[in-house]
Amino acid sequence: MARENGDGGTLFSVRMRAARGGPHEAGGRHVSGAERLLPEREVAAAVRSLVRRAQEHPLGAPDFIQVTVERVETEPVRIPGLPVTTVAASAPGEARRVAAVLLASAGVAPATAARAIEALAGGPGPGGGTMRGAMLMDAATGARLEPDPARGVRVTRVDVAPEARREVTRSLSRGRLIGTRVREALVLASKVAWAGALAELCWSDDPDYTTGYVASPAFGYVRLTHLKPRGTPLGGRVFFLPPGADPAPFVHRLEAVPVLLTGLGGVRPPVEASDFLKEIARDAAVSRA
Ligand code: WAQ
Ligand code: MG
């Protein structure tokens, strides 16, 4: 039975994926993807805008675009968004040091964090390409747990709640975070944290987008400038699971349970990487005391 959301209408999941050189499952390179969760009256406009986004992608025009529109049959879970911090790093070396420290503080073993960074830098897909979805890693052992290592796990059925959009846009633009990219990444990361990941690591496969992030329920969504070198077409996402966790229920939550963000956890002014590292060390000393 379809349920009404707070906005009075049935929700639809709208998903787009685009590839070049054939469909993904025939070996095409992933170009662009996106997911929305919307009231019915907004579906047609969203489809148009996602098709246009795929066609105008900086990685080059796709020759395969698939858009799926599907009614969501269950009531969405409403969750708050993660708080946002921006850490200004000077180069990938420094940004990745901060990422490693944050991942360790969230319970990811240092060797696992190093393996994740290497996988993203080298191309996480089989043969060193990109993936359409995310890798899953056991935080302790670094073992890859995604059922399909070529595709990865795709987070879908998530969006900002219609009634929270205005406030989310306002908070992000007050923090000088304009555009859909940051918002979509924050929405995704908030669902991943809610679903039970200890942490997430991400940077884009878009050659010119070099800011990435580490997120966790413990410290929120921490953006890191220069997490990847400019010009490389490799990137992706890693979701770290608690040691020994079964990936199946986690994947089910990410793909099948509809989630709406009810707001944002705050946006902090940017902080220099060196100051941020001191801050983390201080907090760690306090919690040990
Ligand atoms: N579920 C799982 N993995 C995904 C999804 C999804 N819905 N969407 C993208 N990915 C994976 C996939 O492997 C992509 O190749 C990779 O992530 C990168 O996707 O605060 O733009 O859309 O300034 O290129 C982060 C920082 C930007 C934003 C990330 O990723 C900020 C970005 P992209
Ligand atoms: Mg991309």
> What pLDDT was estimated at residue 8?
53
Task: From 214, 237, 251, 253, give the residue whose CB has the most ligand 1 atoms within 8 Å, as the site to mutate.
Answer: 237
- Alpha helices per DSSP H over the chain: 43-55, 92-105, 110-122, 165-174, 180-195, 247-256, 273-288
pLDDT per residue as tens digits for the range 47-104 = 999 999 999 998 889 999 999 999 999 999 999 999 999 999 999 999 999 999 999 9
Separation of CA 1 and ligand 1 centre (Å): 32
Least confident segment among 19-23, 88-92, 108-112, 124-128: 124-128
Average pLDDT of the chain is 94
Confidence of residue 287 (pLDDT cuts 50, 70, 90): confident
Adjacent-strand bridge partners of 136: 239
Number of Cβ within 10 Å of residue 3's Cβ equals 12
Gap between the terminal Cα atoms of the chain: 53
Burial class (CB in 10 A: 0-12, 13-18, 19+), 138: buried
Adjacent-strand bridge partners of 14: 36, 69
Distance between CA 261 and CA 191 in Å, rounded? Answer: 9
pLDDT per residue as tens digits for the range 6-17 = 445 799 999 999
CA angle 238, 197, 261 (to 5 degrees): 100
> What pLDDT was estimated at residue 1?
45
Ligand 1 contact, 235 CB (< 6 A): yes
Ligand 1 contact, 134 CB (< 6 A): yes
> How many whole angstroms from its chain centre is CA 47?
21
> What pLDDT was estimated at residue 74?
94
List the structure tokens of 107. Answer: 């319970």
pLDDT above 70: residue 2: no
